C-alpha cells in the first residue's frame, strides 16, 4: 500500500542543457489507485515509469513513496515490481524459478516462497506450467508469468510498461480483464504505461495524459474524455479523433456562424463569447455527436454542411468523411444503415451542448459555463 508522489520530476540526457525527455512532471498516485500514463510514443511516459522504478536517474525533482524520498534508493530497495513490455523472463529458469527468484534473493523463508508461488500460480492458471522454461510457453502464458513474478513479491507498487502490446487482439482483451480483476483483488497501487486509449479508458481509475515530456491532463477516464484540457487530449482520446474547426469567433453572441458551419453555443455565457468576438477559436465536435437526422440533434442544434468524400462502412457503424468548405474535413460516426454517396452534399446535425471551444493559439480548452446535463450524469 503506497502513495507515489512525483514532485517536479525532470529527466535530461547528457548535461543540464541536454534534451529534456521528462519536463516538470507533478503527479500524485494515491494508495490503491490504478494510474495510467497515456501518450504517444516519445512523450516521456516510459521514462517517467523507469524513473519511478529506479532504472533511470532523476535529473531533478523529488520522487517519494509513502512520504520517503527515494531518488537515490537503488531499484532493488524500492519495494516495487515491474512487468516489462518484453516480459523479461529469465530464459534459463523454469516458471517456478522465475517466480521465486526475487523472493530467494530477498532471503524469504523457503516455506513462505513455496506457499506464495503455489498461490500465485493457481491464481493465474500457471499450475501446470511451473516446470517449463519460458521458450516453451505461448505469448499469453509468458505474460501471465511476468505478471505472476510481480505479484508473488507482494510489492508496494506495481509498474507496467506496455505489457499487452506484444499480445494479439483477442488475448489482449482477456489479459486486460485479468489485470482489472487482479487490481480489484490486490487493491495495490499500480502505474501502467500505454499508448492505447482503450486500455487507458477501461483500466485506469485515473489517466495521466502526457505529451512532449509534460503532463497535459490528469483525471478519471470519462472526465478526460468529456472535458479534454486541450486539443491534443481531445484528439488523442476518441476514435475517430474529435473534429476540429478553426473559425473566427462570433461577432454576435450566442452562436458561431462560419460559412457552412452554424453552431449555437448555449453553454457559454454571452458576455464571455462576446469577449472572444473577432478572434480565432477552435470548435470541437466529437464524431459520435454528428447525425444526418436533424431530430437527433434536438430543436436548438447546430449544423455542418459538406460534401461526402468517403464512406467507410465498419459493420456495426459507418464512418462518413465530409469535406467542409473553408478547408476543413470532418468525420461522423453514424448508424450502419445510413445511405450516403460519395460526392453528395449532406447536412450533419449536432446537439448544441456537444460543442467544445479551444483557444486557437494555445490549444487550451475554453471551459463552458454550464455543464452539459447529459454528460454530468456520467461523471463520478
- Which of residues 7, 20, 64, 102 is near other proteins by CB under 8 A? 102
149 versus 206: smaller Cβ distance to other proteins: 149
**Does 20 interact with other proteins (rule: CB under 8 A)?**
no
Strand pairing class (157-161; 189-194): parallel
Contact 269, 369 (CB under 8 A): yes
Candidates 48-56, 210-218, 273-281, 294-302: pick the segment binding other proteins (CB under 8 A). 48-56
Contact 245, 330 (CB under 8 A): yes
Query: Taking the complex as a whole, how short is the minimal distance between the CB of residue 360 and other proteins, in angstroms?
Result: 39
Candidates 31-39, 83-91, 205-213, 294-302: pick the segment binding other proteins (CB under 8 A). 83-91
> How many other CB atoms sit within 10 Å of the CB of residue 82?
23
- Which of residues 2, 36, 81, 285 is near other proteins by CB under 8 A? 81
Q: Give the CA distances from residue 125 to residues 177, 178, 337, in Å, rounded to whole numbers and listed in that order.
A: 14, 11, 43
9 versus 283: smaller Cβ distance to other proteins: 9
**Does 101 interact with other proteins (rule: CB under 8 A)?**
yes
Candidates 37-45, 51-59, 270-278, 366-374: pick the segment binding other proteins (CB under 8 A). 51-59
**Does 12 interact with other proteins (rule: CB under 8 A)?**
no
Q: How far apart are CA 135 and CA 142, in angstroms?
A: 9
Query: Taking the complex as a whole, how short is the minimal distance between the CB of residue 10 and other proteins, in angstroms?
Result: 14
Q: How far apart are CA 289 and CA 303, in angstroms?
A: 11
Q: How far apart are CA 286 and CA 319, in angstroms?
A: 12
Candidates 73-81, 115-123, 309-317, 344-352: pick the segment binding other proteins (CB under 8 A). 73-81
Query: Taking the complex as a whole, how short is the minimal distance between the CB of residue 51 and other proteins, in angstroms?
Result: 10
Contact 113, 103 (CB under 8 A): yes
82 versus 304: smaller Cβ distance to other proteins: 82
Candidates 61-69, 88-96, 253-261, 283-291: pick the segment binding other proteins (CB under 8 A). 88-96
Phi and psi torsions of 89, nearest 5°? -75, 150
CA angle in degrees (0–180, nearest 5) for 271-260-373? 50
- Which of residues 42, 60, 62, 76 is near other proteins by CB under 8 A? 76
Site for other proteins in 124-143 (CB under 8 A): 133-135
**Does 241 interact with other proteins (rule: CB under 8 A)?**
no
Candidates 70-78, 231-239, 248-256, 371-379: pick the segment binding other proteins (CB under 8 A). 70-78
Query: Which residues bind to other proteins, rule: CB under 8 A?
Result: 53-57, 72, 74-77, 80-82, 84-92, 101-102, 105-106, 133-135, 149
Amino acid at each position: 500500500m503506497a502513495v507515489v508522489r512525483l514532485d517536479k520530476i525532470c529527466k535530461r540526457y547528457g548535461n543540464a542543457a541536454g534534451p529534456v525527455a521528462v519536463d516538470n512532471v507533478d503527479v500524485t498516485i494515491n494508495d490503491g489507485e490504478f494510474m495510467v500514463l497515456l501518450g504517444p510514443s516519445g512523450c516521456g511516459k516510459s521514462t517517467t515509469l523507469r524513473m519511478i522504478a529506479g532504472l533511470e536517474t532523476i535529473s531533478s525533482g523529488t520522487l517519494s513513496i509513502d512520504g520517503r524520498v527515494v531518488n537515490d534508493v537503488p531499484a532493488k530497495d524500492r519495494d516495487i515490481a515491474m512487468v516489462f513490455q518484453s516480459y523479461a523472463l529469465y530464459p534459463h529458469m523454469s516458471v517456478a524459478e522465475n517466480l521465486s527468484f526475487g523472493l530467494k534473493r530477498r532471503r524469504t523463508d523457503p516455506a513462505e516462497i513455496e506457499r506464495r508461488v503455489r498461490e500465485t500460480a493457481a491464481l493465474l492458471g500457471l499450475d501446470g506450467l511451473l516446470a517449463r522454461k519460458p521458450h516453451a510457453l505461448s505469448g499469453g502464458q509468458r505474460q501471465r508469468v511476468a505478471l505472476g513474478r510481480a505479484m508473488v513479491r507482494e510489492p508496494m507498487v506495481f509498474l507496467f510498461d506496455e505489457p499487452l502490446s506484444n499480445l494479439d487482439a483477442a488475448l489482449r482483451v482477456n489479459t486486460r480483464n485479468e489485470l482489472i480483476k487482479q487490481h480489484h483483488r490486490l487493491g495495490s497501487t499500480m502505474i501502467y504505461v500505454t499508448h492505447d486509449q482503450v486500455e487507458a479508458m477501461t483500466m485506469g481509475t485515473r489517466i495521466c495524459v502526457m505529451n512532449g515530456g509534460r503532463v497535459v491532463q490528469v483525471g478519471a477516464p470519462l472526465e478526460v474524455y468529456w472535458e479534454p484540457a486541450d486539443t491534443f487530449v481531445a484528439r488523442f482520446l476518441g476514435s475517430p479523433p474529435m473534429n476540429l474547426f478553426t473559425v473566427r469567433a462570433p461577432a454576435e453572441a450566442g452562436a458561431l456562424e462560419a460559412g457552412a458551419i452554424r453552431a449555437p453555443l448555449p453553454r457559454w455565457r454571452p458576455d464571455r463569447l462576446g469577449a472572444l468576438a473577432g478572434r480565432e477559436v477552435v470548435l470541437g465536435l466529437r464524431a459520435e455527436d454528428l447525425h444526418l437526422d436533424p431530430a437527433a440533434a434536438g430543436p436548438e442544434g447546430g449544423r455542418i454542411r459538406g460534401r461526402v468524400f468517403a464512406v467507410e462502412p465498419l459493420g456495426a457503424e459507418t464512418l462518413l468523411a465530409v469535406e467542409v468548405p473553408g478547408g476543413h474535413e470532418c468525420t461522423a460516426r453514424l448508424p450502419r444503415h445510413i445511405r450516403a454517396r460519395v460526392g453528395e452534399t449532406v447536412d450533419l446535425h449536432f446537439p448544441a451542448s456537444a460543442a467544445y471551444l479551444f483557444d486557437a493559439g494555445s490549444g487550451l480548452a475554453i471551459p463552458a459555463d454550464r455543464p452539459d446535463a447529459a454528460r454530468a450524469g456520467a461523471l463520478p
